[in-house]
C-alpha cells in the first residue's frame, strides 16, 4: 500500500515535503543548539558558584583558624582568670563556626581527589584541636610556662600543617574549576563546529532542494505542454490508425469508437450510441465476453484476445489484439480494446489447414519413401509408411536417426558438404547416392528435395527413388555393350595388324625389289618417299592396333600392363611419373574389372596428354579385401568443376566406375591440377 501511495504521489509534492522536512530539521538544530547552550551555561554557573562557595568557605576557615590561633596566643599572655575564661569562650564559638563551614564544604565536594584533600584538612584540624585543648588546660591550671613551651613545641607546627592543607585544598578547587571551565569551553567550541557543519549541510540541501523544486515545476510545465501535444497526436493516431479501437463501460456500452472501427463495422456514432459490445459479437465470441471482474484475472491486461464482430451488413470480421481493463473498488468500470483485422489471415489459415490435410494424404499414401528432416540439426522429423517399409526402421526408430545415418560412408563427406550448403539455399535440389537400410544393404537412390516449414522448424522434404535394380540392369547392359566394344576393338585391331599391315609390308617389300640405281633421280626420290610414308602408316596402324586391343593379362601381369601404358605416353621423357602398385598377392582381380581399370587409366592419361600441360603424373592402385582404389593425379592447368565441359572423357570414367557399383570422385580447380579417385567395392564384383 505504501509503495502504491508513493507511486501515485506527484514528484513535486515529494520534493516540497522534503524541503519542509529539511527546513524543520534546520530549525530543530538551532533549537537544540540553544538548549545545549542553556544547559552548558547552567553547568558553567553551577561550577562557578560551587567553586566560589568552596573558596569562600576555605577563606573563612583560614580566617577562623588564624583567629583561633591569635586567641590562643592571647590566652598564653594573660594571667587573669576572667580574661582566660572569656578568651576560651570566644575560641569555642569560632571553632563551632569553623566546624559549620567544614560541614558546608563537605556537602559541596564533587571529586574523589577533593575528598582526599578535605580528609587531610579534617585530620590536621583534629590534631590541632587536640593540641589546643591540652594547651588551654595547662593555661587554666596556671602552668603558663609549660603551656608556652608546649605551644612552641607542638601547637605552632600543627597550625602550620593545618594552614598548608587549607592552601592545598584551595589550590585544587581553583585548578579543578579552571579545568572544568576549559572542558566546557572545548565542548562548546566542538558543538559550535558540529552545529555549523550541520547547518551548512542543511542549508546546502535546502538550496539544492529549492533548485530541484524550481526545476521540477519548470519540468512539470514542459511535461504538461508535451502531454497536451502527445494527447493531440494520440487522438490523431487513434482516429487514423488501421487498428480497430473502442472503449466501453463496465456494462459493455460503447463509449468511444475510432474511425477504423466505424468503417469496418459500418456503424455511425448515433448507431453505436445505442449499441453495446454483446450486440456486435457473434455467438462463439459472446459466451467468452464477461464485463465483470473475473477472479482468474491477474492484472488488468488481456493479451492476444480473439473475437468475431458482426458488421452492420452481417459480415463476420475476425479480430485479434489486447484489452485493457480498468478497475475501481475491485469492480471493472471500463475496458479499451485494441484489435487488428485478421479476417484474411484467418481465411488463409483455414486454406492452409485444408492444404495440409491434402498434403498429409499425399505424404502418407505416396508409394515412394518420403522423409522430413531439420536442415540445421539433420534430425528426422517425420517419415511416411513407404519409408518405414523400404528401409526397415519403425517410426520410433526413424525419429531417433539423423538424415546422415542412412547415407553410405563413401558418399558421406560430399553429402555433409551439400547439406551444409542447403542450409543457406532454399532452392530445390536433386542428387544421386547410396543409402543403407536397417539390414545393412546398400541401395542406389535418386533424391529430390524441397524446402518445407514443419511445426516451426525449417525443414526439407525429400522424395527417394530406389534405382538399384534399374542401375544394375543398366550396368549389365553397359557391361555387355562394353564387352562387345572390346571384342570389336580386338577384331579391328587384329584386322589392322594381320591384314592391313601385311599388305603394307608387302608394298614395302615390292618397292625394295625395284632397281633404284637404274631409275632417274626424281623417280628414286619418289620411291624413297613412298617407302617412308608406308613405314609411317605401318607404325601408326601398329599403335592403333595396340590401343584398340584389350590387354591380355594371361600373358602380361596387370602391373606390367599399367607400366607399359605409362611408358607409352612418356617415350620422350616429358613427364616425371610416380607409380605405386599395392595389390596383395592373395587377391586376384577379375579380368573385366582389370580391363575397366585399364581403360579408366587410359582415358585419364589421354586427357592429361591433350589438355593438362602437366609435368608430374602420379598413379596409385591400392587393393584390399573390400575395395579397389585407383588414384590418378597431375599437376597440370586444371579446370573449373562448375563450368560446362565439352568432352566425354570424365563422364566415361564415372560411367565405368558405376558399372561395378563404384564411383569416381574428381577434384580440380584452375591452376591446381586434377585428381581422380575411383572406388570400386569388391563385394559386388
Helix/strand/coil (H, E, C) string of 461-498? Answer: EEEEEECHHHHHHHHHHHHHHHHHHHHHHHHHHHHHHH
- The answer, yes or no, to whether residue 79 has pLDDT greater than 50, is yes
Q: What is the pLDDT of residue 1?
A: 43
181-195, 577-591, 628-642, 659-673 — which is least confidently predicted?
A: 181-195
- Reported residue count of the chain is 685
Of 546 and 175, the structure prediction assigns the larger pLDDT to: 175
Q: What is the rounded CA–CA span in Å between residue 433 and residue 437?
A: 13
Q: Percent of the chain scored above 70 by pLDDT?
A: 81
Q: What is the CA radius of gyration of the chain?
A: 64
Domains and CATH numbers, the chain: 2-215 (1.20.120.1730), 242-347 (3.30.450.20), 366-466 (3.30.450.20), 552-685 (3.30.565.10)
- Summarize pLDDT for 474-503 with one digit per residue, the tens: 777 767 777 676 667 666 766 666 667 667
Q: What is the rounded CA–CA span in Å between residue 257 and residue 248?
A: 9
Of 268 and 238, the structure prediction assigns the larger pLDDT to: 268
CB-side exposure of 326: number of CA atoms within 13 Å? Answer: 11
Q: What is the rounded CA–CA span in Å between residue 175 and residue 171?
A: 6
- Summarize pLDDT for 145-172 with one digit per residue, the tens: 777 777 666 666 777 777 787 788 777 7
In 3D, which of 233, 91, 78, 61 has the Cα closest to residue 163? 61
In 3D, which of 320, 327, 276, 273 has the Cα closest to residue 300? 327
Q: What is the pLDDT of residue 676?
A: 95
- Summarize pLDDT for 601-626 with one digit per residue, the tens: 988 998 999 889 999 999 999 999 88
- The answer, yes or no, to whether residue 66 has pLDDT greater than 90, is no
Q: What is the pLDDT of residue 437?
A: 93
Once rounded to an integer, what is the mean pLDDT over residues 187-212? 74
DSSP string, 147-180: HHHHIIIIIHHHHHHHHHHHHHHHHHHHHHHHHH
- The answer, yes or no, to whether residue 322 has pLDDT greater than 60, is yes
Q: What is the rounded CA–CA span in Å between residue 593 and residue 582?
A: 16
Q: What is the rounded CA–CA span in Å between residue 39 and residue 13?
A: 38
Q: What is the pLDDT of residue 579?
A: 94
Q: What is the pLDDT of residue 369?
A: 92
- Summarize pLDDT for 22-56 with one digit per residue, the tens: 677 667 766 766 676 666 666 666 666 677 777 77
- The answer, yes or no, to whether residue 576 has pLDDT greater than 90, is yes
- The answer, yes or no, to whether residue 77 has pLDDT greater than 80, is no
- Summarize pLDDT for 517-538 with one digit per residue, the tens: 667 777 777 777 877 777 787 7
Coil, strand, or helix at residue 214? helix
- Summarize pLDDT for 280-321 with one digit per residue, the tens: 888 776 655 554 445 445 457 888 888 888 888 888 888 888
Once rounded to an integer, what is the mean pLDDT over residues 560-575? 88
Of 46 and 207, the structure prediction assigns the larger pLDDT to: 207
Of 6 and 437, the structure prediction assigns the larger pLDDT to: 437
Cβ–Cβ under 8 Å, residues 376 and 458: yes
Q: What is the pLDDT of residue 333?
A: 83
Q: What is the rounded CA–CA span in Å between residue 203 and residue 29?
A: 12
Give the burial class of 451: count Cβ atoms within 10 A of its Cβ; 0-12 exposed, 13-18 middle, 19 or more buried: middle
Once rounded to an integer, what is the mean pLDDT over residues 320-348? 83
CA distances 550 to 243, 590, 657, Å, are 83, 14, 18
Give the burial class of 181: count Cβ atoms within 10 A of its Cβ; 0-12 exposed, 13-18 middle, 19 or more buried: middle
Q: Percent of the chain scored above 90 by pLDDT?
A: 15
Q: What is the pLDDT of residue 447?
A: 92
- The answer, yes or no, to whether residue 462 has pLDDT greater than 80, is yes
Residue 678's pLDDT band (cuts 50, 70, 90): very high
- The answer, yes or no, to whether residue 408 has pLDDT greater than 70, is yes
- Summarize pLDDT for 507-522 with one digit per residue, the tens: 766 777 666 666 777 7
- The answer, yes or no, to whether residue 656 has pLDDT greater than 90, is no
CA distances 165 to 99, 121, 129, 178, Å, are 16, 5, 15, 20
- The answer, yes or no, to whether residue 384 has pLDDT greater than 80, is yes
181-195, 208-222, 323-337, 369-383 — which is least confidently predicted?
A: 181-195
Coil, strand, or helix at residue 55? helix
Residue with cell 568432352: 647
Residue with cell 530549525: 27
In 3D, which of 476, 453, 462, 363 has the Cα closest to residue 407? 462
Give the burial class of 283: count Cβ atoms within 10 A of its Cβ; 0-12 exposed, 13-18 middle, 19 or more buried: exposed
Q: What is the pLDDT of residue 2?
A: 46
CB-side exposure of 563: number of CA atoms within 13 Å? Answer: 8
Three cell numbers, residue 363: 505424404
Number of other residues whose CB lies within 10 A of the CB of residue 350: 10
Q: What is the rounded CA–CA span in Å between residue 373 and residue 371?
A: 6
Cβ–Cβ under 8 Å, residues 582 and 623: yes
In 3D, which of 482, 484, 502, 506 has the Cα closest to residue 494? 502
Amino acid at each position: 500500500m505504501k509503495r502504491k501511495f508513493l507511486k501515485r504521489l506527484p514528484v513535486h509534492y515529494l520534493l516540497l515535503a522534503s524541503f519542509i522536512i529539511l527546513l524543520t530539521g534546520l530549525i530543530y538544530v538551532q533549537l537544540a543548539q540553544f538548549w545545549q547552550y542553556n544547559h552548558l551555561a547552567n553547568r558553567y554557573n553551577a561550577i562557578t558558584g560551587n567553586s566560589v562557595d568552596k573558596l569562600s568557605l576555605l577563606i573563612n576557615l583560614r580566617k577562623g583558624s588564624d583567629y583561633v590561633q591569635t586567641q590562643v596566643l592571647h590566652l598564653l599572655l594573660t594571667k587573669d582568670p576572667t580574661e582566660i575564661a572569656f578568651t576560651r569562650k570566644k575560641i569555642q564559638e569560632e571553632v563551632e563556626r569553623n566546624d559549620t563551614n567544614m560541614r558546608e564544604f563537605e556537602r559541596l565536594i564533587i571529586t574523589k581527589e577533593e575528598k582526599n584533600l578535605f580528609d587531610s584538612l579534617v585530620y590536621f584540624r583534629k590534631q590541632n584541636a587536640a593540641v589546643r585543648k591540652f594547651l588551654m588546660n595547662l593555661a587554666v591550671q596556671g602552668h603558663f610556662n609549660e603551656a608556652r613551651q608546649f605551644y612552641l613545641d607542638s601547637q605552632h607546627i600543627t597550625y602550620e600543617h593545618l594552614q598548608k592543607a587549607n592552601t592545598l585544598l584551595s589550590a585544587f578547587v581553583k585548578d579543578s574549576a579552571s579545568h572544568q571551565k576549559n572542558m566546557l569551553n572545548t565542548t562548546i567550541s566542538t558543538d559550535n563546529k558540529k552545529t555549523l557543519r550541520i547547518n551548512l549541510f542543511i542549508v546546502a540541501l535546502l538550496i539544492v532542494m529549492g533548485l530541484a523544486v524550481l526545476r521540477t515545476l519548470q519540468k512539470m510545465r514542459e511535461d504538461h505542454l508535451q502531454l497536451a501535444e502527445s494527447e493531440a497526436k494520440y487522438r490523431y493516431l487513434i482516429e487514423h490508425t488501421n487498428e480497430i479501437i473502442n472503449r466501453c463501460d463496465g456494462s459493455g456500452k460503447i463509449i468511444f469508437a475510432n474511425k477504423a472501427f466505424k468503417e469496418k463495422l459500418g456503424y455511425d456514432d448515433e448507431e453505436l450510441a445505442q449499441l453495446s459490445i454483446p450486440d456486435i459479437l457473434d455467438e462463439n465470441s459472446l459466451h467468452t465476453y464477461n464485463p465483470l471482474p473475473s477472479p482468474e484475472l491477474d492484472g488488468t491486461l488481456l493479451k492476444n484476445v480473439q473475437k468475431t464482430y458482426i458488421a452492420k451488413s452481417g459480415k463476420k470480421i475476425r479480430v485479434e489484439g489486447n484489452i485493457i481493463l480498468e478497475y475501481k473498488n475491485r469492480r471493472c468500470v471500463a475496458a479499451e480494446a485494441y484489435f487488428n483485422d485478421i479476417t484474411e489471415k484467418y481465411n488463409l489459415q483455414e486454406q492452409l489447414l485444408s492444404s495440409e490435410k491434402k498434403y498429409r494424404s499425399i505424404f502418407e499414401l505416396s508409394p515412394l519413401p518420403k522423409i522430413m528432416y531439420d536442415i540445421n540439426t539433420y534430425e528426422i522429423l517425420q517419415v511416411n509408411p513407404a519409408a518405414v517399409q523400404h528401409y526397415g526402421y519403425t517410426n520410433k526408430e526413424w525419429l531417433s536417426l539423423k538424415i546422415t545415418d542412412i547415407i553410405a560412408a563413401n558418399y558421406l563427406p560430399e553429402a555433409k558438404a551439400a547439406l551444409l550448403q542447403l542450409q543457406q539455399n532454399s532452392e530445390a535440389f536433386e542428387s544421386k547416392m547410396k543409402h543403407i537400410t536397417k539390414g545393412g544393404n546398400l541401395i542406389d537412390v535418386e533424391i529430390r528435395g524441397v524446402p518445407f516449414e514443419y511445426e516451426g522448424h525449417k525443414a526439407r522434404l525429400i522424395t527417394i527413388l530406389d534405382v538399384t535394380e534399374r542401375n544394375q540392369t543398366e550396368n549389365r547392359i553397359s557391361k555387355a555393350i562394353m564387352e562387345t566394344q572390346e571384342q570389336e576393338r580386338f577384331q579391328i585391331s587384329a584386322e589392322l595388324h594381320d591384314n592391313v599391315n601385311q599388305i603394307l609390308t608387302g608394298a614395302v617389300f615390292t618397292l625394295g625389289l625395284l632397281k633404284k640405281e637404274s631409275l632417274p633421280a626424281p623417280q628414286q626420290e619418289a620411291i624413297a618417299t613412298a617407302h617412308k610414308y608406308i613405314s609411317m602408316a605401318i607404325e601408326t596402324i601398329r599403335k592403333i592396333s595396340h590401343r584398340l586391343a584389350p590387354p591380355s593379362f594371361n600373358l602380361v601381369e596387370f602391373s606390367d600392363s599399367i607400366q607399359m601404358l605409362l611408358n607409352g605416353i612418356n617415350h620422350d621423357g616429358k613427364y616425371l611419373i610416380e607409380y605405386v602398385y599395392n595389390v596383395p598377392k592373395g587377391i586376384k582381380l577379375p579380368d573385366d574389372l582389370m580391363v575397366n581399370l585399364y581403360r579408366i587409366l587410359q582415358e585419364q592419361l589421354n586427357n592429361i596428354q591433350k589438355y593438362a600441360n602437366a609435368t608430374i603424373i602420379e598413379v596409385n592402385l591400392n587393393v584390399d579385401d573390400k575395395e579397389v582404389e585407383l588414384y590418378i593425379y597431375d599437376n597440370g592447368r586444371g579446370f573449373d568443376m562448375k563450368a560446362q565441359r565439352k568432352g566425354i572423357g570424365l563422364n566415361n570414367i564415372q560411367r565405368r566406375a558405376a558399372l561395378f557399383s563404384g564411383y569416381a570422385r574428381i577434384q580440380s580447380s584452375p591452376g591446381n591440377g586434377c585428381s581422380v579417385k575411383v572406388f570400386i567395392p569388391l563385394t559386388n564384383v
